Amino acid sequence: MSGIYIHIPFCKQACHYCDFHFSTSMGKKDAMVNAICKELELRKSEFEDETVATIYFGGGTPSVLQTNEIELILNSVRTNYTIIDNPEITLEANPDDLSEEKIVQLAASSINRLSIGIQSFFEEDLKLMNRAHNAAEAEKSLQLARQHFDNISIDLIYGMPNMSLARWKENIDKALGYGIPHISSYALTVEPKTALAKFVDKGLVSPASDEEAQEHFNLLNETLLDAGFDCYEISNFGKPGYYSKNNSAYWQQKKYIGIGPSAHSFDGVRRGWNINNNPKYIKSIEKDILPMEVEVLSATDKYNEYIMTGLRTIWGVSLNRIATEFGPKFKEYALLQADKFIEEHLLYLDDETLKTTKKGMFLADGIAADLFMVNLR
Ligand code: SF4
């Protein structure tokens, strides 16, 4: 089973912390929708032998599209690919786009999962992040979404400047109050060249310390586990039956095609990425040229990627799979490097599978870096 990711590169305004690819000018929206439909057609041979199980509209802000534009794109998927009977079709949406009319239209379309970018229920946080929505819109969008969708995820950000543990707890409790079955939650990171990075440089805001961010994560983890969620990936919490099938497939190294500017693709051997420039993307597709660069992953690259994604998830890293796929040297190396983390109770061995403990989960990236292989081919 494989997935299709579709990047919608438009946003109403730039959030201060964001380094994704998007444009705030909607002038080329029609041309972009046409180019996306055409890229789907141009690349259909890549999935000749595959069946699509998940379709994911990410961005940017896919909810800036009209429902008929979403359907145009989905029609192109249906025309050019084989799809399972009941695919997971997710739309990332921002609260300010989710009027009652829009939600009703989306519920009547083939979209069956909404991922709503709430980020915070507090005005102060939303202003600091320069989100396009306010706190009232955040709540209203959830009330409406709950009436029309069962499979809903929301994004929440922790580790924000001046965010007390009590305010973070209120954010989590509000999300739980709406009965949302899936929460994606990320620590605010200061990415280079963002407005937030400039504010930090000028001393206008100071980001939360690593210890504060870890405290926020621990509170999130404990509260959500108590509420019946699984932390199935460091940033993703789902009730049983509500894990994101799309993201789970990425973490399990399944194939996916990424459509649209800046979208990444993976075919099991090669990773590709589309140009991250809207006009150049459109021009290239209009000329039937895929604006994509490709790199062939070495065994070391694939091993490192498996370590990185595996340790961040509840599925862990299978030593037998490492031995079979990469060879016994890789397995020996992983075990040797894991030893100190096992002693520190950050990792444990479960039936030949290395997994992070509850305490180790937040530190998964650092632990993975120690298990990475350098230059052994
Ligand atoms: S809405 Fe999402 S993609 Fe757009 S600027 Fe904000 S965080 Fe970035």
What confidence tens digit (pLDDT) does each residue in 51-69 have? 999 999 999 999 999 999 9
pLDDT tens, residue by residue, 120-133: 999 999 999 999 99
Q: 281: which 2 tokens? A: 């993307």
Residue 243: CB atoms within 10 A of its CB come to: 20
Q: Does any ligand 1 atom lie closer than 6 A to the CB of residue 14?
A: yes
Mind giving me the DSSP string for 246-314?
HHHHHHTT--EEEESTT-EEE-SSEEEEE-S-HHHHHHHHHTT---EEEEEPPHHHHHHHHHHHHHTBT
Closest CA to 361 of 224, 203, 165, 170: 224
| 142 alpha carbon – ligand 1 mean position (Å) | 19
Does the beta carbon of 11 lie inside 6 Å of ligand 1?
Answer: yes
Q: Which amino acid is it at 17?
A: Y
Q: Is 142 exposed, middle or buried (0-12, 13-18, 19+ CB in 10 A)?
A: buried
pLDDT tens digits, the chain, 377 residues: what are they? 899 999 999 999 999 999 999 999 999 999 999 999 999 999 999 999 999 999 999 999 999 999 999 999 999 999 999 999 999 999 999 999 999 999 999 999 999 999 999 999 999 999 999 999 999 999 999 999 999 999 999 999 999 988 999 999 999 999 999 999 999 999 999 999 999 999 999 999 998 999 999 999 999 999 999 999 999 999 999 999 999 999 999 998 899 999 999 999 999 999 999 999 999 999 999 999 999 999 999 999 999 999 999 999 999 999 999 999 999 999 999 999 999 999 999 999 999 999 999 999 999 999 999 999 886 44
Q: How close is the Cα of 31 to the center of ligand 1, in Å?
A: 21
CB 207 within 8 A of CB 200: yes
Q: Whose CA is nearest to atom 3 of ligand 1?
A: 60
Q: What DSSP designation does 62 have?
A: G
Query: 362 C-alpha vs ligand 1 centroid, how far in Å?
Result: 24
pLDDT at 203: 93
How far is residue 325's CA from residue 306's CA, in Å, rounded to a whole number? 11
Distance CA 276, CA 59 (A): 12
What predicted TM-score, i.e. pTM, was given to this entire model?
A: 0.96
162 CA distance to ligand 1 centroid (A)? 21
Q: Is 59 in the pocket of ligand 1 (CB under 6 A)?
A: yes
CB distance 42 to ligand 1 below 6 Å: no
3-class state of residue 83 by DSSP: strand
CB of 60 closer than 6 angstroms to any ligand 1 atom:
yes
Q: Which 8-state DSSP code applies to residue 221?
A: H
pLDDT of the residue at 375: 64
Which of 10, 11, 57, 130 has the most ligand 1 atoms within 8 A of CB, as the residue to mutate? 11
DSSP single-letter state for residue 209:
P
**Strand 152-158 to 2-8 pairing:** unpaired
CA distance 341 to 182: 30
CA distance 233 to 313: 4
Structure tokens at 316: 């862990």
Q: How far apart, in whole angstroms, are the C-alpha atoms of residue 294 and residue 266? A: 9
Q: Residue 373 is encoded by which pair of tokens?
A: 């292989």
Alpha carbon nearest to ligand 1 atom 2, residue: 60
Cis, peptide link before residue 60, omega less than 30° from 0: yes
Q: From the CA of 4, how far away is ligand 1's center (Å)? A: 20
The whole-angstrom separation of Cα 139 and Cα 178 is: 9
101: its two tokens: 């009319």
Verify whether ligand 1 is closer than 6 Å to residue 119 (CB atom).
no
For ligand 1, the distance from its centroid to the CA atom of residue 15, given in whole angstroms, is 5
Residue 134 token pair:
């306010």
Ligand 1 contact via 20 beta carbon (within 6 Å): yes
